[in-house]
Amino acid sequence: MRYTLEKSCHSVYGLYYHLVLVVKYRRKVLSFEIIERLKDIIHSVAIDFDVKIIEQEGDKDHMHILFSCKPTFTVTKFINSLKGVTSRLIQKEFPEVHEKLWKGHFWSPSYCLLTTGQVSLDVLKTYIEDQSDGKNI
């Protein structure tokens, strides 16, 4: 089993997250132009947090973001900043979103965050099970 790993002074790691942000009330306000602008904003926020964006794409009412980070990273600070900055800038630059959204809300207050890896859970479970030579049991 081969991993692509990052290194720091005292650790070797491969931390990957899949984040899904949903527009408030599932309103279909994300046009192609807004999605492209969101991607730019997300990249700039990620740079500030030393986060690597691996992939991102959106549909009319949500965004998917796949990213990697260091073990010392605080995920909730990044997500809160990401939601705040993107909300402010999109509402400022695309005033038409106010027709479907109001009171300054853009994203739903909740989000979906999943950890992910470079192999499936089944493969990893089998790998760990195979580590025992039977003598320690």
Give the sign of the dihedral formed by CA 114, CA 55, CA 80, CA 95.
negative
Dihedral sign computed on CA atoms, order 78, 24, 93, 43: positive
Task: Give catalytic status of residue 17 as yes or no.
Answer: no
**DSSP states of 22-90 as a string?**
EEGGG-----HHHHHHHHHHHHHHHHHTT-EEEEEEEETTEEEEEEEE-TT--HHHHHHHHHHHHHHHH
The catalytically annotated residue of 17, 25, 111, 127 is 127
Going 98 to 67 to 112 to 74, the CA torsion angle's sign is: negative
Active site residues: 127
